[in-house]
Every structure is written in structure tokens, then in C-alpha cells.
């Protein structure tokens, strides 16, 4: 903190060593004895440049420590070199998923290869949505990466209007045909879990779902009812909100509805952790009395007791594919939605 105040002297002409002007393409041109045009050509690859010129330019770049000025480039090319990741989830749930970490890493890495960067925006409330809309309308991003965007989100119209290439991580319900996406096979994963519970000899199998306006909410339910069919009466399915407390409450409700339940499929590990607590409080043993199946294979799944049998999503792959889709879209290639297989992870709870 000592020196914090003495390097902010910035008089007009006085360019100290700290504040020295950043080298421009002109400086590089001068240092390498060629013209701006040639330097630009070297920097952007492509065009016809002699080997000697290229070498001179590269040396000069290294010497001067030149880094391209994105603002100037952007102004001329009207491409910003950045894409925006839009988080629409009001809850914080997102981040607790290792999910997100992987996505982040994959996205920044893949974009970096193209010298692009990742801007993060949270569109949780109306204010946030407006900001994102303004950002996109202003052309401040070359593309958008949508995370957990809901079906009716007005932002979707904005994006369409702005004409910004966009892809989603996980299907955007109702817009599957408009917004390309990569996703895990939610339906298939749920089906596998339901089949597994049946194979284990369970007969009274309930389900706790996520919100039905999310793909994870509705598709996992579809997979479940696809197997259980009419056996899964209305009382056997309760809806919750992806939180631990919500899962606990839902489990209590389910036990009230169906006291002789012998298995439950919970649509997320966090909710399943809540369900375990409710079952424990109700004196049911897991898995002896009631088998519990989760979904996600998140960190929490191996921390609960008993450890959760769950469905693992190929999140790294999903993230990778999502980013790949966006990049393909930026290159004007044709893209198709991608759906990737899940894997049943058997632990102790079922």
C-alpha cells in the first residue's frame, strides 16, 4: 500500500517508463523496415508475404512487445473477438456443479485458440436481461453461449432480433429447432435408472422431479414414465426445485402420498441428499427399505451416506460440443443438435 499513490501521476506529455505508449503497428513497421500493410498481412496470416519480410516482422514484434489493439481491429472489421456466456439461472445452483467449471475451462481454451475471449453476463433478473440485450444489440459480442435459458425467456427474441449466432448448453425447450445445442441424453439416463430400480426388484417407485420448464425437469420425468408407464400414478411423482431443502420437503410429501414406497428416483444429487435426510428422519433405511437414485454424479454424490447411485452426464463432452457448435456457427457451417449418452454409476444407495 506504500507506493499505491505515486504511480498515478499522468501529466499530458510526461510519458514515464510505466506509462510509455504501447507500440502500434507503425512501430513494428518501422522496426522491421516494411510497411503497415505488410505487418498486417503477417499478423493475419493469409496473403503473399516474402519469407524475409515475415521474419523481420516477427522479430520486430518480439522486440517491441507489440500486441494488436483489439479495439482498432474491432472497429475496422466489426467483429469483436469475444463471445458472451449468458447465465439465465436465477438460482446459484449452476455453479455448484462441476459442470460449470468444465464448461468454463473448455470454453476459454477453445476460444483462446481462435484468439477470442469470453465475457460473462448474468441475466438472472430483468435488469440483467436488459443489459444482455443491450450488449448484444450493440454488437459487442460475435456470439452467445446460453446456459440454462428457459423456454419463455424474452432474451431469446432479443437474440434472434440482434441476429447474433447462439447455441445453448442443454436444449432450450420449445426452441430446439432454432437454437442449436449439445446435451446429455437426459431421457435415456432417466430410463436407465428406472430400469435399474425395476431390475433390483423394486415395485413402488416414486420420483422427485426438477422444475418442469427445464429440460432436466421434463426429460428426466419422461424417461422415468417411459419405463414405469401407468404404474407411476400421479401420487408417485412430486415436483421440486433442485435444492437440498426442496428435495427434503418433496421426499416428505412423497412418503405421505405413498407410505409403502420402496424406491425413489430423484432428478438431482443435491435434491437426493435432501431426500436421504427425510428418509433417515422417517426411520427408513437406505437402501434396505427404500432405494434412492440420483442424477448428475456431482461432488455431493460420493459424500452422502450411503453414497448415491446416480447417473453421470458426460459434461466435459457436452461443454466441448457446445463450444464446438458455436464456433462452427461463427464459421457459417451447418450445425445439428448433439445428444450424448449418460452412464449409470452404482454406489450404495440403490
- Based on CB atoms, which residue is closest to DNA, 26 or 105? 26
Grid cell digits, residue 43: 499478423
Q: Does 151 participate in binding its own copies (rule CB under 8 A)?
A: no
Per-position x/- string for 4-43, each x denoting binding to DNA as judged by CB under 7 A, each - no binding: -----------------xx-xxx------xxxxxx-xx-x
Transcribe 148-162 into DSSP letters.
Answer: S--TT-THHHHHHHH
DSSP code at position 63: H
Select from 55, 62, 75, 281 the one that contacts its own copies (CB under 8 A): 75
Q: Is 242 left (phi over 0), alpha (psi -120 to 50) or beta?
A: left
The least CB distance from residue 63 to its own copies, in Å, is 14
Reported in sequence order, the residue ranges of 196-290 that DSSP labels E, i.e. its strands, are 205-209, 237-239, 263-266
Q: CB 67: neighbour CB atoms within 10 A?
A: 9
Q: Are strands 310-312 and 263-266 parallel, antiparallel or unpaired?
A: unpaired
- Based on CB atoms, which residue is closest to DNA, 27 or 158? 27
C-alpha distance across the termini of the chain, in Å: 57
Per-position x/- string for 103-122, each x denoting binding to its own copies as judged by CB under 8 A, each - no binding: -xx--xx--x----xxxxxx
Near DNA in 239-258, by CB under 7 A: none
- Based on CB atoms, which residue is closest to DNA, 24 or 302? 24
The least CB distance from residue 49 to DNA, in Å, is 4
Grid cell digits, residue 300: 455431493
Q: Which does 230 bind (CB under 5 to 8 A by kind): DNA, its own copies, none?
A: none
Residues near DNA (CB under 7 A): 21-22, 24-26, 33-38, 40-41, 43-44, 47-50, 52-53, 66, 68-69, 72-73, 75-78
Amino acid at each position: 500500500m506504500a507506493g499505491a499513490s505515486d504511480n498515478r501521476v499522468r501529466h499530458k506529455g510526461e510519458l514515464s517508463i510505466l506509462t510509455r505508449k504501447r507500440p502500434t503497428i507503425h512501430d513494428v513497421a518501422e522496426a522491421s523496415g516494411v510497411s503497415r500493410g505488410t505487418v498486417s498481412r503477417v499478423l493475419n496470416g493469409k496473403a503473399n508475404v516474402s519469407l524475409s519480410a515475415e521474419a523481420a516482422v516477427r522479430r520486430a514484434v518480439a522486440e517491441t512487445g507489440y500486441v494488436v489493439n483489439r479495439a482498432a481491429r474491432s472497429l475496422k472489421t466489426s467483429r469483436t473477438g469475444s463471445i458472451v456466456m449468458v447465465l439465465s439461472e436465477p438460482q446459484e445452483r449452476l455453479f455448484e456443479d462441476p459442470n460449470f467449471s468444465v464448461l468454463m475451462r473448455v470454453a476459454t481454451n477453445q476460444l483462446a485458440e481462435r484468439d477470442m475471449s469470453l465475457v460473462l453476463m448474468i441475466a438472472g433478473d430483468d435488469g440483467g436481461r436488459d443489459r444482455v440485450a443491450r450488449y448484444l444489440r450493440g454488437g459487442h459480442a460475435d456470439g452467445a453461449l446460453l446456459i440454462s435459458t428457459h423456454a419463455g425467456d424474452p432474451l431469446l427474441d432479443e437474440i434472434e432480433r440482434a441476429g447474433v449466432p447462439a447455441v445453448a448448453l442443454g436444449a432450450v425447450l420449445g426452441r430446439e429447432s432454432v437454437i442449436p445445442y449439445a446435451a446429455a441424453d437426459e431421457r435415456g439416463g432417466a430410463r436407465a435408472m428406472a430400469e435399474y430400480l425395476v431390475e433390483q426388484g423394486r415395485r413402488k417407485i416414486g420420483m422427485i422431479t426438477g422444475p418442469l420448464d427445464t429440460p432436466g425437469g421434463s426429460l428426466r420425468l419422461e424417461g422415468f414414465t417411459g419405463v414405469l408407464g401407468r404404474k407411476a400414478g400421479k401420487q408417485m411423482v412430486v415436483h421440486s426445485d433442485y435444492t437440498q431443502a426442496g428435495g427434503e420437503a418433496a421426499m416428505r410429501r412423497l412418503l405421505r402420498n405413498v407410505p409403502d414406497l420402496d424406491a425413489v428416483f430423484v432428478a438431482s444429487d443435491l435434491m437426493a441428499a435432501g431426500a436421504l435426510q427425510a428418509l433417515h428422519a422417517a426411520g427408513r433405511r437406505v437402501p434396505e427399505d427404500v432405494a434412492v437414485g440420483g442424477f448428475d454424479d456431482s461432488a455431493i454424490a460420493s459424500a452422502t451416506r450411503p453414497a448415491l447411485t446416480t447417473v453421470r452426464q458426460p459434461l466435459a463432452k457436452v461443454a466441448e460440443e457446445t463450444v464446438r457448435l458455436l464456433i462452427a456457427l461463427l464459421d457459417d457451417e451447418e450445425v445439428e443438435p448433439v445428444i450424448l449418452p449418460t452412464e449409470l454409476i452404482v454406489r450404495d444407495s440403490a
